[in-house]
Homo-oligomer: A and B are copies of this chain.
Amino acid sequence: MTEVLTRKQEITQAAAELFQKKGYPSTSMRDLAAKVGLEPSSIYSHIKSKEDLLSDICMNCAFEFSKGMQWVLNTKSSPTVKLELLIDLHLKMAIDNPSSVTVFNDEWRFLSPDVKEEFLELRKSYESLFKNILLEGRESKRFSINNVDIVFELIIQTMTIFYKSAKKHPKEELKRQVTHFIKEAIRQKLEVRN
C-alpha cells in the first residue's frame, strides 16, 4: 500500500522537477517516463493524465500554504511576529520542495479551467488573510504602509528569492537578509521629540 503511494509520489516528484526545468507545456510524458525508467504508456498505470500531475503539484502547495497561514494565525502573536512567521513559512516551503514551489508559482496558469478556479480561490483567500495582518500592523502603528495592495505584492515578490536563489545562498543568511529587508521597508519611523 505504501508501495503504491511511493511510486506515484516518485513520478509526481520527477514531474515537478521536469516542469520546473523545461516548463509544463514542453515537458513530454516521454521525458517523464525516461526519467522514472518506464515506457511512456506505463506512466498511465499510476496517474490519470499529464494535467493531473500539474494539479496535484499546484494544489498540494496551495493547501500547504493555507495550512501554514492557519498555523500562523493561531499563534495569535503580534503582526510583526506573524509577518516573520510567514516569511519563515515561504522559506520553509521553498527549501523543502523547491521544484514544486516553483511549479506552483510559475506554471499554475496551465491548470485546466476547473482546477484553476479552485486554485485561484485558495490563493485569493491566502492573500486576503495576509493583507489583514498588514492592515492590523498598520492600525497598531507598527507598520508604515501606504498602499496595502502594492506592499503586499512587493513582499510576495521579495520572497520569491527563496526559490529563485535558494541554491546560491545559505538558508539562514537568506532568512536574515530577507526578513531585515522587508521589515525595514515597512518600518514605522517613530517621531523624535526634542
Instruction: Point out residues on A near B: beta carbons under 8 Å.
Output: 23, 25-26, 106, 109-110, 144, 146-147, 149-151, 153-154, 157-158, 160-161, 164-165, 168-169, 173-174, 176-178, 180-182, 184-187, 192
- Whether the pair B185, A182 counts as a contact (CB closer than 8 A) is yes
CB-nearest residue of chain B relative to A160?
B157
Main SS of the interface on chain A?
Answer: helix
A51 → chain B closest CB, angstroms: 13
CA distance in complex: A149, B168 (Å): 10
Q: So how many copies of this chain end up in the complex?
A: 2
CB-nearest residue of chain B relative to A26?
B25
Answer whether A173 and B154 are a contact pair too, CB < 8 Å, given A26-B25, A185-B184, A192-B192: no
Which among A109, A110, A161, A164 has the greatest number of chain B C-beta atoms within 10 A? A161
